Amino acid sequence: MNLTINAEMLKVGKRWMPYILFVLLVAGVAVVVWLFGYVAYKEDQNFQEGQKALRTFAYPWTITALLDNGQFWGTIIFVAIFTSSTMATEYSWGTVRQAIVRGQSRAAYLATKLLGTTIICAAALLGALGVGLLFSAWASAAAGQPITLDVADGPSVPELGLMVLRAGFTIIPYGLLAFCLAVVGRSTALGVGGTFVYMLGEGIVVAILKGLGGTWSDLRDLMIGHNAASLLAVNRIGNLEYNTLAARELPRADELPDVWIATLVLLLYCALFIAISFAVFQRRDIRG
């Protein structure tokens, strides 16, 4: 497994695409911290919007803001494109065939692909988070704000790790959706497009269901985004607001499913996407 993972790293490491996506990710982080944080705060420091802007780049709220924005845009910019592309190009290059005829089982091939993709996505997203935290430190210093975790309801250092894990976990179902679509459709466009449409459409559907109320409103509990929001809501510090570019409402714990139920629902989605991918790939005729 080590060897094949190394081979996976070699294949991906020499492509331009992950580096370009990472630069876009960092650009997105800069937009959140500087434009929607620092610049917005400087323009309107004293009112409610100014305080939201402050919490977008000031510690420790910036951690929540970066994880929330990163969960949405990191998935769209990096995870969906990277995952779909690395899987679908193996079809178009004919390299799936090369792997199978060399005796790598189909299950092992897909598992390696999934593991390699996960490692690279995790590294890129953590790297972007690190850059974001540096930007925030810089912006905080420029605005004369302290760099501290010591605020009301502020997280401890171990809790920071949990916050990252929670946000990371909520990305996995979308990543697996992209993977599943790319495997089934053998197409980068389908993987990327399908995930984009789902993520953006889901926000609209959740809002409509909320508006309809009653039983309709309960249907939100079946959607990935609503359950992901349940975990992200736990990351909030003191229920205070911050600026977000994610195309969805700020997660509010009182409207969301229980965290453990949400975790279970997300795990079920993960299992479903993995099962579909493996079942289709295992039975598929692979032609040139």
Out of 150, 158, 254, 283, name the contact with another protein by CB under 8 A: 283
b/e burial code for range 149-188 (CB count within 10 A of at least 16 → b): eebeeebeeebbeebbebbbbbbbbbbbbbbbbbbbbbbb
- Residue 7 binds another protein, judged by CB under 8 A: yes
Nearer to another protein, 102 or 156 (CB): 102
Out of 93, 189, 201, 222, name the contact with another protein by CB under 8 A: 93
Nearer to another protein, 64 or 188 (CB): 188
Stretch that binds another protein, among 102-110, 121-129, 202-210, 214-222 (CB under 8 A): 102-110
CA atoms within 13 A on the CB side of 281: 28
Phi, psi at residue 97, to the nearest 5°? Answer: -60, -45
Report d(CA 19, CA 12) in Å as an integer: 10
Contacts with another protein by CB under 8 A: the residue count is 26
- Residue 115 binds another protein, judged by CB under 8 A: no
- Residue 98 binds another protein, judged by CB under 8 A: yes
Report d(CA 27, CA 73) in Å as an integer: 11
Out of 20, 23, 27, 100, name the contact with another protein by CB under 8 A: 100
Closest contact distance (angstroms) between CB of 178 and another protein is: 21
b/e burial code for range 246-278 (CB count within 10 A of at least 16 → b): bebebbeeeebbeeeebbebbeebbeebbebbb
- Residues in the site for another protein, rule: CB under 8 A? 3-4, 6-7, 10-11, 14-16, 93-95, 97-105, 283, 285-288
